[in-house]
Amino acid sequence: MTTATSGDLTLPLLGGRHHFLLRRLHSLTGIVFGGYLVVHLIVNATLLQGVGSHNVFQTQVDKIHSLPFLIIVETLFIYLPILYHGIYGTWITFTAEPNVNRYPYGKNWFYFFQRVSAIVLIFFIAFHVLGMKGVFWSSKLAFDPEHATATTIRHINASWLTAFVIYPIGILASCYHTANGFWTAGITWGLTISAAGQKRWGYVCSGLFVFLLACGMLALYAAVRDAGSLNQLLPNLPRR
Ligand code: HEM
């Protein structure tokens, strides 16, 4: 019997004896950001309810923006976790040893796609956040909480690339990475030890993947569907 485990290239280089703690923090920040993503996608899915007299999406955004200490809550539970998770995750990704060509088993493919989706997410999250903040490319990407529904629709429809390439790929990567990440986190924290336990948790995470993907894609569909309403929603702002 051998007790050998696979090499972990991050061990001697990053964190040294704090390596275990840094890994756990990477997992924890992934779970925290994953929780935020679930709420974010459910709120976005209210775009499906349309731009009529009762604008449900705007109501949700107003509720979020009326929370006390919003900037502190956002910094602690959104910006810092994803920053740490992204930086440490980039290191893990580029020191990974994918072995799908030698062992083409399901779990290895999940591991491989966890890293592929991570790389996609670095670019997607940067585009999404900087675009929404109006930092680059076009002011038509900028989000204004006072005109939440209209500026979200304008953002998505800024170009065919945003609506039909960037967002479908970004949503797919986010949903896969989160659902598969929740599955591996069960192992990281010692909650799913037996094969049966991992299988059961796998069903839950697969359900989560389908649910998140449906929320994300339906919100995207609604934004494209309602592009024609921009004239009436944003009479004084640039539309394209
Ligand atoms: C939508 C945004 C993201 C969410 C919700 C998220 C969530 C998670 C979760 C819950 C895990 C599982 C942790 C564990 O196994 O204990 C994970 C793993 C991972 N994440 Fe993320 N993450 C996101 C973005 C990113 C980004 C931008 C990177 C940057 C490269 C990244 C890199 C990684 C890597 C490499 C792993 C695998 C760690 C391992 O197997 O040891 N993630 N993520």
Spell out the domains of the chain, with CATH numbers in brackets: 29-96+113-233 (1.20.1300.10)
- Looking from the CA of residue 23, the nearest atom of ligand 1 is 41
Residue 171 CB less than 6 A away from ligand 1 = no
Cβ(100)–Cβ(112) under 8 Å?
A: yes
Residue 95 CB less than 6 A away from ligand 1 = no
Expressed in angstroms and rounded, the spacing between residue 232 Cα and the centre of ligand 1 is 41
pLDDT for 6? 46
Expressed in angstroms and rounded, the spacing between residue 89 Cα and the centre of ligand 1 is 6
Residue 14 burial (CB < 10 Å; 0-12/13-18/19+)? Answer: middle
Q: What's the rounded Cα separation, in Å, for the pair 22 and 141?
A: 35
| Number of other residues whose CB lies within 10 A of the CB of residue 27 | 17
Instruction: Give the N- to C-terminal CA distance of the chain in Å, as an integer.
Output: 65
Residue nearest atom 42 of ligand 1, based on CA coordinates: 118
Give the mutation target among 6, 10, 22, 26 for probing the ligand 1 site: most ligand atoms within 8 A of CB: 26
Cβ(98)–Cβ(168) under 8 Å?
A: no
Residue nearest atom 16 of ligand 1, based on CA coordinates: 185
Low-confidence ranges of the chain (pLDDT < 70): 1-17, 98-104, 137-138, 235-240
pLDDT for 101? 67
Cβ(229)–Cβ(51) under 8 Å?
A: yes
pLDDT for 9? 53
pLDDT for 218? 98
Residue nearest atom 18 of ligand 1, based on CA coordinates: 181
